[in-house]
Amino acid sequence: MNHQYEERIDDLHINDFKIIQNPKNFCFGMDAVLLSDFTKVKEGETVLDLGTGTGIIPILLQAKTKGKHFTGLEIQEASVDMAKRSVAMNKQGTHIEIIQGDIKEADTNFPLSSFEVITSNPPYMDGGKGLVNEHSPKAIARHEIFCTLEDVIRVASRLACVGGRFYMIHKPHRLIEIVQLLKKYKMEPKRIRFVHAYQDREANMLLIEAIRNGKPMVKVEKPLIIYKDINRYTDEIYEIYGYERSEDLERLGKN
């Protein structure tokens, strides 16, 4: 079957950029958009996204920041193919490069200490045990099948320059493990922001920034609330997506 017939092109509502996705495999969600907003990229910096999927984070960061160059590393061939075609469609080949490769081996395929910024929206779930099809694109994106949380943090610490920044979105129930691993690999947590679906609900995601060889001091930022009430996003979510308040809410949550 030609999977290109199952693909769609989504408008990212920034710089006229678009992205190719296949809903039968895996489409980016709000977590990728929130991570791209939380990530700070200064003018002239180089960025590596570990497990880039269809390239959503490098494409958004190229649109939102003045970074010099963005590299996306992804192990799945179909996702790499879509990401490369999205980069070409947006005419960003001089600024964004998509590479097929294994996160676990990334520190042997890139020069050490060579990126100012590293990002990752890694699989949230421990292992792939018990999955019906643990090599399906959705399983790989959600479960630690090809890499673990420790793999991601270890590689980020080796590829970030001294003083370089690492940004990740993950689940709050793994916060202690995340902090322990960051400390183990000399990545000092500096900013944490919890994400809540509603103001009165417990956090269901967290955003974290760490600095390689940074000094100990962490700032817990104000919570990010997704919904004002049922089917009504908060003003901050609209601002992150670049949508007008009156625009169709379904487009915001379609992924």
Residues of the chain with pLDDT under 50: 1-2, 128-132, 138-141, 143-144, 246, 248-250, 252-255
CA atoms within 13 A on the CB side of 227: 13
DSSP sequence for 200-234: TS-EEEEEEEEEETPPS--EEPPPEE-EEETTEE-
Q: How confident is the model over 183-218, as pLDDT tens digits? A: 999 999 999 999 999 999 999 999 999 999 999 999
| Per-residue confidence (pLDDT) for residue 236, from 0 to 100 | 95
Which residue type does 20 have? I
Q: Are 52 and 72 a contacting pair, CB within 8 Å?
A: yes
> Is 3.40.50.150 the CATH classification of the domain at 3-224?
yes
Query: How many Å apart are CA 250 and CA 49, to the nearest integer?
Result: 28
Count of residues making up the chain:
255
Q: Are 149 and 122 a contacting pair, CB within 8 Å?
A: yes
| Per-residue confidence (pLDDT) for residue 23, from 0 to 100 | 82
| pTM for the structure as a whole | 0.89
User: What's the token pair of residue 243?
Assistant: 């949508």
